[in-house]
Structure 1
Amino acid sequence: MSPIVTVQDLVTAFEPWMEPTDAELDAIERELPVILAEVDLLDAQIVTLDRTPGELDARRIRRARRRVLAARRELANRAAGATLPGGAA
């Protein structure tokens, strides 16, 4: 009979080089408004999972969707502006 051995140490091993780079942290920080808006949208949707959404719930979800779209638009505009040649951002 052969013993069953896990490979957890290989999968979850921590190495110092596994830390996020400065570029990755900057990207997360740039996307943070979108992330927070999406969390608000999820919160609004979770509230309505166990009941029929009322008018206030529907309004809260619509507002949260608009915030997500606005945050995504702002992020896209910043990314597009940063790639324009000649520094015309």
Structure 2
Amino acid sequence: MQLPVAPGTLVHNDFNPRNLAVREGRNIANSDWRRGHRLALREFLMTRLALYAAGNTQREFAFLPQVVATAFRLWGIEETRDGG
């Protein structure tokens, strides 16, 4: 529910001042960026990854084990940061 109302942002996991674009003079707080990352990761886990898993039942996706491992490793990192 929260993700569709958040401003659309391209994220490539490099939170660095030179990679920030500020719109209409609004500063982006680290907590806002972190929250957006968590929401996007959760959305990926619940939608895209579920579709990959469903497709994998019909035809093996060789990339899937690594994608699953990486996605859940990232989720684990997010859960341990700031108390989850």
Same topology, TM > 0.5: no
TM-score of the superposed pair, with normalisation by structure 2: 0.41
TM-score of the superposed pair, with normalisation by structure 1: 0.40
